[in-house]
Structure formats: structure tokens, C-alpha cells
Structure 1
Amino acid sequence: MTNPVSLTLQGVCFHLPDGRALFSNLNESFDGRRTGLVGRNGVGKSVLARILAGGLEPSAGRCLRSGRVHYLGQQPAALPGQSVGSLAGLDRIIAALERIEGGSAREEDFDAVGERWDVRERLHRALSAAGLEHLRQDTPAARLSGGEAMRVALAGAFLSGAEMLILDEPSNHLDREQRRGLLAQLQGWGGGLIVVSHDRELLEPMERIVELSSLGLRGYGGGYSLHAEARAREREQAQALLEQRKAQRRRQERALAEQRERLEHRLARGAQQAAQANQAPILLGRQRDRSQASSGRLRARQEEAREALSQRVREAAAQVAEEVPVVLFAPDAFAAPACVAELDDIRLPHLRGPLREVSLKLLRGQRVALTGPNGCGKSTLLKVLAGHRPTQAGRRVLQVEAAYLDQHFSTLDARASLLEQMLADNPRQSEGELRTRLALLGLDADRVRQPSASLSGGERMKASLARLLYAERPSRLLLLDEPGNHLDLPALQALEAMLRQYPGTLVVVSHDEAFLRRLGLTQRLEATACGWSLSDWAE
């Protein structure tokens, strides 16, 4: 069946409150194909998604829409008094249905319900399929965890009756099984789809990848692997073209210099011959004027040639400007005791059943993946290890400095700039060195001077990592809770490379198995029905 939905951008621009252009002159069409929207952190993907959905007006240009569109943002937050039904976006329909059942004959109530008389039953089935059978439509949404809120919002999106879904980082708060369930739902979805994501497994089955960069929008057929291969070829070709044009400019610069030198020799020889021929002063003056005019014309032609060459170099350089690598430095090697941390018969707060009790010994150089379903206590265990959460029983011993990175960027002061916080962390480090390291992370001079709250999710994650890793005394125990969330693909690859080189002990929570496989892990600590189970890492 042909899907008539389409979204078309015509010369779309968006300017930030300070007047800077986030992107300019975007022209692209999105149809019924499953499309992944990718790009570096801070480039404006979420803003573009909201423009496509109609929730935000562009500064210039327009977006034409055909078909009903449903947009789901990165972090569906429950408002005070909101219920599960309203978080799913179905409260208006359910309320109209309840009024009809109570005797209402208002036309607007029947229009709101349309053909969806079984909306409550469908919501219940969708919640049960998502592992949320304990929720009702009137359950207060404030009780939900981040993962539960995302699953409720996703259930509502698929029940929305939309012909196009726009989902912004929908897998961020989902565990491994829930991600697989989302993949199955997306593959079974019959409407148009745009997924903003850095999740390689989620992007792989897409029919099309569209990349947003400072150069605009560029579409690629196929999923993530094909996109990555095509981009690698383009990078090689763009770099080769840049080197070719630089070499061409050097050759022509030498030719222009030789041409100028030959003219100056001719002019000097002509002036000398004229002076030796005893010509009248007026004739000498005219010859000098002609020589200067010839020299001026040559200079003008050469300047035009130089500018044309430089413009060709700038055009080639613009094609590789986006390819500046993201670099995250691992701390230098440091000494550490054989046992860096120990939990002895610890009773974790707010947990029940076998997962409530844990004993664990972390050794020097141990690298552990902490895995399990949402709500099993992974974040609680990390917080106890870091000393951020008290225990109800047992003994906790920490022999080294521990650095804890949570999912909510709590190490950042939202009101202070990142540069201010980095300077406070590193009183003996020069501002120039810190700014260089932040620039290599893709955080430019303007961004690091703004309040941290103004940074995008990916930029705040980079900032949090920078504060942990570039502190004056680097931590010998690194505790990371979903560090890949919000990071763009180049930053995620830089994080993978850094963590492989990290010399200390590492415990990392992640539902991204592709990310975990690249870290050189030694053990997996998994939450199971029988309790916490530690085993050797196996691919």
C-alpha cells in the first residue's frame, strides 16, 4: 500500500537566540521510507525534528506536510498531575470516550474518538507488550522511571493514528530486551518514520540515512553500515581533492612567481638600455609609466589567479571540515592497590528480592560491564560503590578515588560555564590547554563559555566526561552509567578508544552491546532472577 505521507523542507533556516545560524538553506524531502537522521552533537538534529513535526517554526523557509505526524522527544517528562494516559498522548480521546459513555452527545467528543472506540483496550495491550501490565491509564506518571516513561510514550506514539512518526533518541532509556522490542515495532510499522539516533543497531535496518552537518542535509540509501562505508569513501575523496588542490596552488604559485620575476628582469633590462641610449627624460618617463602599468596589470591578474586557487582550496577544505576527529585522552598510567573496592554483604536501598544483597570485590585493572533490565538496581549499585548512596547493611571499602558519571549530568553546575568548572578542577592547568582539549571534543570556544544548561544532551555528556577525566587527580576507579547516551557517533567512537586505554578499574552500565564489545571488558556482572552473577566476559 502506498503511503501518501511526506515532509518537505524548502530553504529552512534556524537562528539561535544570540543570532547565530544553527543551520541554513535546508532542502530535503522525507517520504514513507524508514529514515535515520544522524549528525554530530549540537548540529541541530532535535531542532530540525521539531520543525519537521510542526512543533517549532523555522527562522526562514518553510516545511510542507502531507499526512498526520506524531513527534516524540528525547526525554518524555511527566508533568505534575499527569497520568499514564496523558503521557501516552491519548488522554483527550479517553476523556471524550468517557463523556460519551456518561451520556454526552457532543459532536466534538465523537470527532475526538473517531474510529478508536477500543483505545483503552489497545493501550492496555500495548503496555502489557512493553512489560508495563501493572500500569493503568490513570496511574500517576510521576511514579514512572525514565525507561518506563519512554515505553509509555512509545506505546502512545504507535497508537496515535499518525502516518509519520518522528522519534528523537527513542532507545536512550531502554534496556537490551526493550531495545529489541522497539526494533521489532519499528520494522513492523507501516507508516513513515524518522528516527533521530546514534544507536547503530537501531539505524542498521533503516532504508535511508540522512546526515545533518554544517554543509546541510545529505541522504544515503540503506542502513548505518552502508552509510558509514559511503561516508568513509567521501572522506577519502574529499581529503584527496583537498591535497590535490593544495599541490596545484603551490605549483601555480611558483609559476606566478617565476612569471613576475621574468617581467621584472625585462623591465629592469629595458630601463637600463634606455638610460644607456641617452633618451630624453620625457621618453624615459613614458617608458617607466608603461613598465609600471604592465607590472600593475600582471599583479592584478596574479591576484585574481591566487584568489581563484584559494577559493578552490577553501571549497575542498569545506568538504572535510566536518571530519575533524573527536579526541578524548585517557589518563596516564598510575599505581593502584591490588583491591580497589569491596562490597561485603551489602544490602542495597530500595530493592527487594535476591538483587537486594550483593558482595563484590573489584581488582586493579578489572573492567566490568554491569547489565540487566531497567529497574533492577544497576544505578543504585553504582551509587553505592561511589559512596553517593548509603547502604542498609554490610561493609563498603573504597581504596582509591572513584569518579561517578550518572545519566543526569549531576556533576555539572548548570549555571556555570564548563570552562569555569574545568579551571576550578585544574587550578595548575593553563586555560589554553584546557580549551584545546575541549575543542578536540567538539566543544568550541563559544560553547565552553556558556552556562552548562544551554548545552545539548550530547555536549553535556562530553562536558561531564571531560570533568572526570581531566581532573588534576584522575580517578583510578571509573563508574559510568550509560555514558553512550546522547553522544554522536564520532564521540562514541572516541569514548570507546579512550576507555580501551584507560589504565584504572572500570565499571560501566550500558544496554548498547555494540558499545560494550569495543571496550576490552574482562567480566560481566548481570542482574538475574537469582541475584547478581559475575562471569568472564564473552562476546
Structure 2
Amino acid sequence: MLSTQKPAVTLVNLSFTWPDGTAVFRDLSATFPIGRTGLIGTNGTGKTTLLRVIAGELTGTDGSASVIGQVGYLPQHLTLDVGATVADLLGVAGRLAALRAIESGDASAAHFEALADDWDVEARSLAALDRIGLPAISLDRPVGALSGGEVVLTALTGLQLGGHEVVLLDEPTNNLDHVSRQLLYEAINAWKGSLIIVSHDVALLDLMDSTAELRDGTLSVFGGPYSAYQEYLAAEQAAAEQALRSAEQRLKTEQRQRIDAQTKLARRQRYARTDFENKRKPKMIMNNRKQEAQVSAGKLRGRLDASVEDAKQAVTEKEARVRRDATISITLPNPDVPAGRRLAELRDAHGHGIIIQGPERVALTGRNGIGKTQLVSTLVSPGPSSWRGFQAESFIERIGYLPQRLDHLDDDETLLTTVRAAAPGLTDGQLRAGLAKFLFRGDVVGRKVGDLSGGERFRIALATLLLADPPNQLLVLDEPTNNLDLHSVDELVNALGAYRGGLIVVSHDHHFLSRLGITTWITMDEAGLHYS
């Protein structure tokens, strides 16, 4: 029996084009079913833009996107709003302020109206934070004082409290440590309502009921989790590759047969001319045979050309079924760092420390909120710096820093001018060629940073860092795999593998770290820095 249940989201001929004329997608028609759906696609395909249209933050240039009820949205760039408080993220700031005003003796009717009889709003909010693994966070604490993982978990808790029918999550596991990810997975499993989640986290995607892929401007929905979709896709692509090989072989056969036939026709024409010149038969008979041969040859050529064209069309159709996804391409220049050159030093309050020298590779790990970001960010400050007893000092000037929040970028600058600031000695042509490797091509380089999706923003930050001229002698990367699709992560791993400068990486992705040839592992906790 067919289900009569309405879908969570319905797209009808939905299109979106940026003001500069860049089309993100055209005529999308699809439905997101009730339940949990993972939305995947390579960087730059428009996943974030689609979520923003569904959430009502952007308006499609054509078509429509309808939702069955109230929609909640957790964006990628949530951590950039450093002035917001925990209460803001939870969506209870107004009611909390009204409650506190009433408790302080202000009996204004406006406060009672704002509170709406939600007298336990503070206790309920703190209990929800406790359930998600954040028991010690004040509702007045600013976002800027939270780790990226704490921000995400807090906002997710707010969406739970809001009771939205449809919730959109854009890369929710970015910056989450192992414990926090497990808490998020548990929350997703227990979620009441429908979810659409953009993510590159395979473990999270495998918790989904459905998988939707945005690719080449079309949206396809598969009834199963990511791993099942990958198995289906692998089988489909194997069949597509085989069909393409068969079509290509048929085209070669048809082309060879046409050449053979043309060779035979040319030979017959030579023989006919020889007979005509030697007058071996009466002229009338010779002319009739010549005309018959020309007609026959013309028909044969027509059939052969048609067969070749049919074979070419078949190849084109089969090629369209085979995936050729674009990925970033990274080649890092040699910064010429001698093996004994001192680059930086990290120390804890007990005097335990490490001096990073030459092309050393250091991984800094630890739970959310312990201070990893604060520690590595001090390396880009001039002279020695300290934070809660931890100390960091750099001994060089050319340090490339990729912050977790990506709040160092000027939203009003274009992509081209942003990269030019890091490589002032390069020509526009060289800068454009470098940006193309990060999938920013043509007029796109004139877009403003503030108009980019989270994934695009990350790519321009990475491009600015890795295209720097002169090249950086030390790279400090804070969660560098955030927002990168799996193919792009592979490219980053390969590029860092060939990099001959120093490297400090903060990451919760142990699979990624294990591929970088880490020479020193540092675990950070309340007691200090621990090395292995």
C-alpha cells in the first residue's frame, strides 16, 4: 500500500543564481521524505545554498521550496557570531531576560508577555545542556568563549528545545571531539521530527534513513544510509564504466569498418578508371556502370556514416553516466626549512614543552574546550604569549595559520584580492591559476568572501594559506578537514605529505592525522601537555 504521508520538504523547479549571474542550481524538483536525510555532494555544488533557501534565508530565483511546518537551521558559520550568548543559541534569551527582570522586582506587563508562562525556562535549558554533555556552561557565556564543538552542541540543544518540525544541520560534527560526536549521534538517533543534514562524516551519514545527493545541478534521493548508497553507486558506476568501454569499442569497430569500406571503394574506382581509359567495354555500358557504382558508393557511405554517428552518440550518452567530479588540486612550494631550524615552542605551566624544528609534524589533540585553539592561535602573535599557564612562542615570521572559526577573512573583499594580499608578488594570471586549483574559476574570483558558503569560505582560507608567496615555513592548521569533501581531504593529505616545512595540526579526525606522518603527538588536558 502506498504511503499518503506528505514529504518533509518539496522542491518544485527550484533555481538559484547569485547577483553576479553565477548559477548554483536550476530547476530542482525533488522531495525530502519524513525522517532523517543526509545531503551530500562535492564542495561547491550548492548544498549550503539549498539549505539556506529551504530555511528562508535566501529566496530562489525561480520555483519554490515548501516545508511541512516550522523549520530550524544550524549553519556552518555559527561560530562566527562571537557576540551571541548561550541563551541566544538556545533561543531562550528573550524569555530568560524577562524572567530575571520579574525576579528582580520589575512587574512590567511586557515581561510577563515575553515570558509566556515559561517559568522553568532557565532550569529546563540547563538540564538540556547537561544531557548533551555541557553541564558547566552558563547561559550568559558568550559564543566567543566557547570552543567550536561547544557552540555546535549548544545550538543543537536549542533546536531540540524549539520543537521544529524540520531541522536543517550544516556540517554539525565539525570541531566535535570523540565524546561530543557520540553525544550528537545519540541526539540524532532520538530526534523527533525530520532532519536534513549536510555532512562529510560517514558515521553520521550512516545514521540517516535516506541519502540525497546534489550533483551537477540535479538532486537525487536514495532510500537508505550513506554506505548503502555508496554500494549502490559503486555497482552503478561499474556498470556505467563497462557500458562506456563497450560503446567505445563499438565506435572503434564502426570507424574501422568505414575506413575499410572507403579503401575498397577507392580501389574499385581506380580499377573502373583504368577500364574506362583502356576502353575495354562500350562507352555507354561503362557510363552506366560508373553511375551505378557512384549511387551504390553513396548509399554505402551514408550507412557507414550513420553507424559511426550512432556509435558516437552512444559513447556520449554512456560518458554522461560516468562520474568525473572536480576536486581541489594542491601543490605546496618548498619553503627551504633546514632540519635544525627552530620554528616554535609550546610549553605548559609545569615547564613541559617541545621545540618544533625543521620539517617536524606535530598533532595537538584533546577534548573540546580544553584550549587547543587558544594555544596555537598565540603562535601568530609577536613574541612569547601565554594562555592559562600554557606558553607559545614562534621564532620565525612566515607562519601560515588556518583558524577554526575562519573569522580572519574580510567579507567585503573579493576572492582575488584576498589571495593577492598573501601573495603580492604574483600576477593576476598566476593568482587565477592558483585559485582554479581550489575550484574558483572565471568570474567566480570576483565574488565577495561574505557571499561564500561555509565550504567555499574554507577553501578560500586554505588557498590563501597555501598559495602564500613567499611560502610559509610553518603551517598551523586548526581542524583543516572541516567542510572538505573526502576527495579534497585526499588532496590535502597528499600536498602536506610533500610539504617540507613545519606542521602543527589540531584535529579530532584521527584517521586524517594518521595519514600525515605525524612525528610528535601532543595531548592537552587540565594537567598540561603530554607527548608521545
Asked whether the two chains share a fold, i.e. TM above 0.5, the reply is yes
1:160: Cα distance to partner? 1.2
Q: 1:322 to 1:426 in 2, by over 3 A?
A: farther
**What SS does the corresponding residue of 1:337 show, helix, strand or coil?**
coil
Shifted more, 6-15 versus 483-492: the winner is 6-15
1:331: Cα distance to partner? 4.3
Could you tell me whether the CA contact under 8 Å between 1:23 and 1:216 is conserved in 2?
A: yes
Which aligned pairs between 1:54-65 and structure 2 lie closer than 5 A? 54-65=56-67
Task: Report how many aligned residue pairs link the two structures.
Answer: 519
Aligned AA (1:464):
A
1:42: Cα distance to partner? 0.9
Partner of 1:190: 192
Q: Does 1:38 align with 2:40?
A: yes
Selected match of 1:369 from 363, 388, 403: 363
Partner of 1:410: 408
Selected match of 2:499 from 465, 477, 502: 502
Task: Give the TM-score of the pair, scaled to structure 2.
Answer: 0.80
Shifted more, 77-86 versus 236-245: the winner is 77-86
- Following the alignment from structure 2 to structure 1, what is the Cα–Cα distance between the partners of residues 429 and 97? 57
Give the fraction of aligned pairs with identical amino acids, expressed as a percent. 33
1:161: Cα distance to partner? 1.0
Aligned AA (1:177):
V
Partner of 2:138: 135
1:314: Cα distance to partner? 2.3
Aligned AA (2:169):
L
Partner of 1:533: 530
1:168: Cα distance to partner? 0.9
Task: Give the TM-score of the pair, scaled to structure 1.
Answer: 0.79
1:496: Cα distance to partner? 2.4
- Following the alignment from structure 1 to structure 2, what is the Cα–Cα distance between the partners of residues 290 and 419? 70
Q: 1:450 to 1:128 in 2, by over 3 A?
A: same
Partner of 2:310: 308
**What SS does the corresponding residue of 1:341 show, helix, strand or coil?**
strand
Superposed CA deviations along residues 404-425 of structure 1, whole A, max 9, x for unmatched, are 2223163789624348836973
Partner of 2:244: 242
Aligned AA (2:153):
R
Partner of 1:477: 474
1:158: Cα distance to partner? 0.8
Could you tell me whether the CA contact under 8 Å between 1:209 and 1:223 is conserved in 2?
A: yes
Could you tell me whether the CA contact under 8 Å between 2:7 and 2:33 is conserved in 1?
A: yes
1:491: Cα distance to partner? 0.8
- Following the alignment from structure 1 to structure 2, what is the Cα–Cα distance between the partners of residues 412 and 300? 62
Q: Does 1:491 align with 2:493?
A: no
Selected match of 1:174 from 173, 176, 183: 176
- Provide the aligned C-alpha RMSD in A: 4.3
**What SS does the corresponding residue of 2:353 show, helix, strand or coil?**
strand
**What SS does the corresponding residue of 1:322 show, helix, strand or coil?**
coil
Partner of 1:421: 419
- Following the alignment from structure 2 to structure 1, what is the Cα–Cα distance between the partners of residues 202 and 355? 33
**What SS does the corresponding residue of 2:76 show, helix, strand or coil?**
coil
1:368: Cα distance to partner? 1.6
- Following the alignment from structure 1 to structure 2, what is the Cα–Cα distance between the partners of residues 78 and 207? 31
Partner of 2:255: 253
Q: 1:421 to 1:397 in 2, by over 3 A?
A: closer
- Following the alignment from structure 2 to structure 1, what is the Cα–Cα distance between the partners of residues 182 and 383? 31
1:157: Cα distance to partner? 0.5
Which aligned pairs between 1:100-499 and structure 2 lie closer than 5 A? 118-129=120-131, 130-131=133-134, 133-136=136-139, 146-214=148-216, 216-266=218-268, 269=271, 276=279, 279=283, 301-324=303-326, 326-332=328-334, 334-343=336-345, 354=349, 359-387=353-381, 391=385, 396=393, 398=395, 401-407=398-404, 408=406, 410=408, 415-418=413-416, 421=419, 425=423, 427=425, 431=429, 438-448=435-445, 450-499=447-496
Partner of 1:23: 25
Superposed CA deviations along residues 96-141 of structure 1, whole A, max 9, x for unmatched, are 98999968699x969x959x774443222123344264423x6666
Q: 1:418 to 1:342 in 2, by over 3 A?
A: same
Q: 1:315 to 1:139 in 2, by over 3 A?
A: same
